[in-house]
Amino acid sequence: MSWDGDRPTGIDLYYDPVVDEHVGRGPIGIVAPAWYFAPQKPDVARQGWQLAAMVSGALGGDELLGMDDPARATTLLQIAGEFADADTKARIWAMAERFIEPKWDRERGEFTLGFRLDEPHPRGQWNARSMAGWVCTEGAWGRVFNAPNLAKFGQPTVEGVDFPRVAMSEARWDGEVLHLAAAPQNASVTNSRTKVRVTNIGTTKDWQLESSSGERHPLKVVDGALDVELTVDNRIVRMRRA
């Protein structure tokens, strides 16, 4: 790694000592692994983000540069999730949209990015990295490792989702209430019924499900778990102790 005072300016992505070959030497060596540096070397990772943002014009100007290169676009979108504030992140995604080609496959219930590659199948790795940046809020990736939520392993847990026919757009425990929403894969599944199992419910025997309209129905504990029937309409219902 090269430094300018206490500021990192370059790093090798790979060095082969046999042939004395440096691969990725220079600033790109900081940008490319910034996502992986973030939990361990946040100062180095932030320098990578700042460099990528400066080169692309992400922090100012009317246009993003380099977004016609999917590899560069993916890197910027991913690390922006960890380092950009909400307004900057929204601006980057809005400006990148015409290059990354967002697509809905309504029948399969899939949202993907095509990156204007005109290929029959979306690039999985580039989609995964971009979507990691989309769902990430500022500093969240680093907190996964440095301040993990270990309490969740003892909290109510949803199992047995009939995926991909059904996806849980919400399955969130707030300490008192489990918020659930079952989203359909496509229109043919909408308003059908599905069952999920909720485990880690503790010793409480009396639970109830509150529908989106406010009606409450008792739930029966079987073998220390709850079998819950939901309407696949993407509307939030609430499960709580009676």
Residue 78: pLDDT over 80 = yes
pLDDT tens figures, 205-232: 899 999 988 899 999 999 999 999 999 9
Confidence grade of residue 22 (pLDDT, cut at 50, 70, 90): confident
- List Cα–Cα distances, 187 to 16, 165, 218, in angstroms: 54, 11, 29
Looking at residue 209, its pLDDT comes to 96
pLDDT tens figures, 61-72: 778 899 999 999
Confidence grade of residue 30 (pLDDT, cut at 50, 70, 90): confident
Structural domains in the chain, CATH included, are 2-146 (no CATH), 151-241 (2.60.40)
Q: Is the dihedral of CA 120, 121, 125, 129 positive or negative?
A: positive
pLDDT tens figures, 181-202: 999 999 999 999 999 999 999 9
Q: Is the dihedral of CA 11, 134, 54, 56 positive or negative?
A: positive
